[in-house]
C-alpha cells in the first residue's frame, strides 16, 4: 500500500495551492500602490523592536533548533501575545509568524535534510518530520494559543509551511523514487497528512 503513494502524492503537493494570500493591487496611483507595503514594513519594524514580541520570536526560533520552553515560559509568552493582540500590532502577528518566523525556522529544518545525500536523506526526513509533528508543532500551537479566529490556524499555517518550504525544496519526488525499500511509517503519515484533504484543512487538531 505504501509503495502506491510514491508516484501520486508528490504531484498532488503542487495542486494544493499556497497559504500565501495575494497582496492587494492599486492601479490608480503609484503612491497608493506602495501604501500597503509601507504600512506592512512599518508594522514589522514596530513588532521587531517590541520587547514582548522579541521574547516570542526568541522562543520560536529556539524551538525550531530543537530546544524547549523553560519553566513558566509558556505562561509568559501567552501573556505577551495577549498584550500584543490588544495593541495596533495585533492583526499583524499571524502574518509575521507566517512570513518571518516560520520561514526562518523551517530554513533550519531544510538545511538539516540537505546535509544528507541519497537514501540517507529519506531517513533524516523521517526523523525531522517526527520531531516537527510531535514536538515543534504542538509547542507552536501552545505558544500562539491566544491567537484565535484567524482564516488559518497556527497549526494549518505551520503544516502548509512544512510542505512548501521543506518538502518541495528537498525534492520529495526524487527521494521517493530512490527509496528501494518500504517507506518509513512516519513518511507515510506525513504524505497522508499533507495531501489534499489532509490535516492542513480538515485533519486532526
Q: What is the pLDDT of residues 36-95, one digit of tens each?
A: 655 666 666 566 657 888 899 999 999 999 999 999 999 999 999 998 898 888 888 899
Tell me the pLDDT of the chain averaged across its residues.
79
Spatial distance between the Cα atoms of 77 and 90, rounded to a whole number of angstroms: 14
Q: Give 63: exposed, middle or buried? Use CB within 10 Å, 0-12, 13-18, 19+.
A: buried
Q: What is the mean pLDDT of residues 173-198?
A: 82
Q: 36-40, 93-97, 106-110, 189-193 — which is least confidently predicted?
A: 36-40
Select from 137, 141, 180, 192 the least CA-distant residue to 159. Answer: 137
- Burial readout 84-99 (b: 16 or more C-beta within 10 A, e: otherwise): beeeebeebbbbbbbe
The angle at the Cα of 169, spanning 168 to 175, to the nearest 5 degrees, equals 75
Q: What is the mean pLDDT of residues 87-110?
A: 91
Using DSSP, state whether 149 is helix, strand or coil.
Answer: coil
pTM of the model: 0.75
- Give the pLDDT score at 149: 81
Q: Which residue has the higher pLDDT, 13 or 153?
A: 153
Amino acid at each position: 500500500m505504501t509503495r502506491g503513494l510514491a508516484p501520486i502524492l508528490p504531484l498532488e503537493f503542487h495542486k494544493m495551492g499556497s497559504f500565501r494570500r495575494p497582496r492587494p493591487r492599486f492601479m490608480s496611483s503609484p503612491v497608493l500602490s506602495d501604501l500597503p507595503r509601507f504600512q506592512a514594513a512599518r508594522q514589522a519594524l514596530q513588532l521587531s523592536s517590541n520587547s514582548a514580541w522579541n521574547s516570542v520570536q526568541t522562543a520560536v526560533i529556539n524551538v525550531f533548533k530543537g530546544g524547549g520552553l523553560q519553566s513558566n515560559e509558556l505562561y509568559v509568552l501567552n501573556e505577551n501575545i495577549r498584550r500584543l493582540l490588544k495593541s495596533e500590532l495585533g492583526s499583524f502577528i499571524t502574518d509575521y509568524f507566517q512570513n518571518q518566523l516560520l520561514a526562518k525556522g523551517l530554513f533550519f529544518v531544510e538545511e538539516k535534510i540537505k546535509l544528507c545525500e541519497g537514501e540517507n536523506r529519506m531517513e533524516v526526513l523521517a526523523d525531522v518530520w517526527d520531531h516537527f509533528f510531535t514536538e515543534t508543532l504542538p509547542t507552536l500551537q501552545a505558544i500562539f494559543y491566544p491567537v484565535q479566529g484567524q482564516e488559518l490556524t497556527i497549526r494549518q499555517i505551520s503544516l502548509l509551511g512544512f510542505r512548501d518550504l521543506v518538502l518541495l525544496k528537498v525534492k520529495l519526488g526524487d527521494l521517493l523514487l530512490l527509496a528501494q525499500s518500504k517507506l518509513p511509517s512516519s513518511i507515510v503519515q506525513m504524505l497522508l497528512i499533507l495531501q489534499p484533504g489532509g490535516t492542513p484543512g480538515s485533519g486532526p487538531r
